[in-house]
Amino acid sequence: MGQTLTPVVRYLLIACVAVFGMQLLAGYRLADVFALSPVGGAFDATSFHSWQLITYGFLHGGFTHLLFNMFALYMFGPDIERLLGYRRFLIYYIVCVIGGAVAQLLVWRALDITVSQVVGASAGIFGLLLAYGLAFPHRRLMLIFPPIPMPAWLFVTLYGLLELYLGIAGRETSVAHFAHLGGMVGGFALIMYWRASVRPRR
């Protein structure tokens, strides 16, 4: 798991690190244009633009945020890219990022939030976690804290349920839990579509 970098994973890692470097130089100006913002935002500088459905996934809110996402991409991405092929892997990742953005926009609309922003590759990462759990359900994964080994399917299921609980309960409001879930939903929908498209017709 994660021993050798595959092409798309490598380029995604480079892109996210490079964009983070640009953020350090440009400050909030980059986020104002490329971070995901609510539709009908209260300020012109942070209003929604269609490109934000993808670009938010390459920005990060700090070094720790970047580090955890890139570590997960490195650990889980190569196996999924080898399984899907580089083209489908890139499509899958982007669909997960867009799915996370759509979910977050819907939550903002439901809560009538007009001043907020979301950045980070987490929706894409959660989509990769879902794919990993489906493709390699019995591989053992180790939690960082507490250090408990468990099969991938259980790890992904518990993580998804935790995100759902935290989102509904309003815990950790600085974290876009529904964007994470949206990444998983978008990835699952695409996997089901691909599976249906290769089923033999009767």
- pLDDT one-digit tens code per residue, 87-143: 999 999 999 999 999 999 999 988 887 778 999 999 999 999 999 999 999 999 877
pLDDT band at 2 (very low <50, low <70, confident <90, very high): very low
pLDDT score of 148:
82
3-state secondary structure 156-188: HHHHHHHHHHHHHHCCCCCCCHHHHHHHHHHHH
pLDDT score of 89:
98
pLDDT score of 52:
95
Indicate the pTM of the whole model.
0.90
CA 104, 164, 182, 30 dihedral sign is positive
Q: Give the residue numbers annotated as catalytic, written as ranges.
A: 122, 180
- pLDDT one-digit tens code per residue, 145-185: 667 888 999 999 998 999 999 988 876 677 899 999 999 99
| CATH no., domain 7-197 | 1.20.1540.10
Contact 179, 103 (CB under 8 A): yes
- pLDDT exceeds 90 at position 45: no
pLDDT score of 54:
97
Nearest alpha-carbon partner for 58 in 6, 121, 100 = 121
- pLDDT one-digit tens code per residue, 15-36: 999 999 999 998 778 888 899 9
Amino acid found at 121: A
- pLDDT exceeds 70 at position 188: yes
